[in-house]
Amino acid sequence: MSISRLAQNLTGSEIIKIAGEINELKKQGQNIANLTIGDFDSNIYPIPAELKQAIVQSYDNNQTNYPPADGVLDLRQSVSEFLKTRYGLEYAANQILISGGSRPLIYGTYLTLVDPGDKVIFPAPSWNNNHYCDLTSASGVMVQTHADNNFMPTADDIRPHVKGATMLALCSPLNPTGTMFRKSDLEAICDVVIEENKSRKAGEKPLYILYDQIYSQLTFGDFEHYDPVSLRPELKDYVVFIDGSSKCFAATGVRVGWGFGPAHIIDNMKAIVGHMGAWAPKAEQVAMAGFLRNAAAVDNFLDNFKQRIRKSLDALYTGFQQLKSEGFPVNAIEPMGAIYLTVQIDIKGKTTPDGKVLNDSADINSYLIKEAKGALVPFSAFGTGHDLTWFRASVGACSLADIEAMIPRVREALAKLK
């Protein structure tokens, strides 16, 4: 039977594919440090106890019917308070939309703002923008970024592409790199958008920013999260934020995300997400509303959670820096935020003990899985070429002990190459 051109041509998730291969090897009894999936092992990183108790209580209270299409009002009000307290952002309940995680909100933003053929600008590497462009028949413009700027886009990278564009998709802290915008760099990008919108004629669609800040509560050390509206308030009518509980509360399976932005955009997104049926479960929404107001519980969880995530990231970063100091062709960028470390393993062209030449990042990853019992995700899964030897390492589903034990295996695997 014939199927749609979209279904025929849509590329599946390379991350899920690699993770599936790892799970099969684990079933065979192999002990592999799985640094692929952007998720958490809930036995290592459980959700906040107060949130868990509130979810159970909500089910006990029979909060099991349909929620409102835009989300339970108490949760939207709670999110509004959370945004004001944590970010200094003023968004009323009618400017907030709740969904089953952040993915429907991203897709809903595309469907609300982008017509087929419209230009959408996004950096490479970045998560899933290429697929959302395919799903909406948008004309995606991938802006290649570079290690010397921590793989974050700059105004100079973006400026050549803004003429006629409908949306600029940004994320900070960035998936897959765990790196973040410097204030000055994000300010410069904001100024490019402001300048472009001033140049457009009346009735012409403006240039919008989709700003994914799902990892914004997970920042480390002196690194600070910035957003376009706080830096340039005049952009408030042109920015749709993507946020939620999945990452900052290790609650990926709880499925409570929130987006916020101009009321007329959010209202139209509500209809689209409603037709998807992509609501967050009502019991989880009711529980989340109370948890977000419990500032002490939120702070206590984040303090402990961030310390543990940072220990894992630091262990991985220190391990790769040690390998680099020993002369191995590897590198890593200092962890800044999220649950990811950006690592380079520049062994393209090397020959394995069984005579196989490592031609690209997929070959390198396969070799590491086999010889080092460690699995990463090549940046090619996020829109770059397969020749780039940089990888995402996600620490949420691995214990600190597993990460520390992997480094000597990587050393041994690299030493075998010719």
pLDDT of 41 over the 90 cut:
yes
Phi, psi values for residue 163, rounded to 5°: -60, 120
pLDDT band for 202, please (50, 70, 90 cuts): very high
What percentage of the chain carries pLDDT values higher than 70? 100
β-pairing verdict for 239-244 and 165-171: unpaired
Arithmetic mean of pLDDT, 157-182 = 98
Q: Report phi then psi at 347, rounded to 5.
A: -115, 20
Written in H, E and C, the secondary structure of the chain is CCCCHHHHHCCCCHHHHHHHHHHHHHHCCCCCEECCCCCCCCCCCCCCHHHHHHHHHHHHCCCCCCCCCCCCHHHHHHHHHHHHHHHCCCCCHHHEEEECCCHHHHHHHHHHHCCCCCEEEEEECCCCHHHHHHHHCCEEEEEECCHHHCCCCCHHHHHHHCCCEEEEEEECCCCCCCCCCCHHHHHHHHHHHHHHHHHCCCCCCCCEEEEECCCCCCECCCCCCCCHHHHCHHHHHHEEEEEECCCCCCCCCCCCEEEECCHHHHHHHHHHHHHHCCCCCHHHHHHHHHHHHCHHHHHHHHHHHHHHHHHHHHHHHHHHHHHHHCCCCEEECCCCECCEEEEEECCCCCECCCCCECCCHHHHHHHHHHHCCEECEEHHHHCCCCCCCEEEEECCCCCHHHHHHHHHHHHHHHHCCC
**Averaged pLDDT for residues 78-102:** 98
Mean pLDDT on 19-45:
89
| Mean predicted confidence (pLDDT) in 225-236 | 98
Label residue 380 by pLDDT band (50, 70, 90).
very high
Task: Check pLDDT > 80 for residue 228.
Answer: yes
User: Would you mind telling me the total number of residues written for the chain in this entry?
Assistant: 418
Q: Residue range 384-403: average pLDDT?
A: 96
For range 255-265, the mean pLDDT: 98
Q: State pLDDT tens for residues 112-140.
A: 999 999 999 999 999 999 999 999 999 99
Which domains does the chain possess? Answer: 5-45+299-415 (3.90.1150.10), 49-294 (3.40.640.10)
* Residue range 9-28, pLDDT digits in tens: 888 777 878 877 888 887 88
User: What separation in angstroms does the CA of 18 have from each of 8, 36, 37, 417?
Assistant: 21, 7, 9, 23
pLDDT digit string, tens, across residues 295-310: 999 999 999 999 999 9
User: What is the band of 1 on the pLDDT scale with cuts at 50, 70, 90?
Assistant: low
Residues 6+ apart with CB under 8 A from 129: 120, 122, 140, 142, 169, 383
For residue 99, pLDDT beyond 90: yes
**pLDDT of the residue at 131:** 94
Q: What is the mean pLDDT of residues 179-193?
A: 98
Residue bearing the bigger pLDDT, 227 or 6: 227
Q: What is the mean pLDDT of the segment spanning 186-208?
A: 97
Q: How does residue 156 score in pLDDT terms, banded at 50, 70 and 90?
A: very high
The pLDDT of 77-81, averaged and rounded, is 98
Contact 315, 403 (CB under 8 A): yes
Write the Ramachandran bin of 373: left for phi over 0, alpha for psi from -120 to 50, otherwise beta: left
369 or 23, higher pLDDT = 369
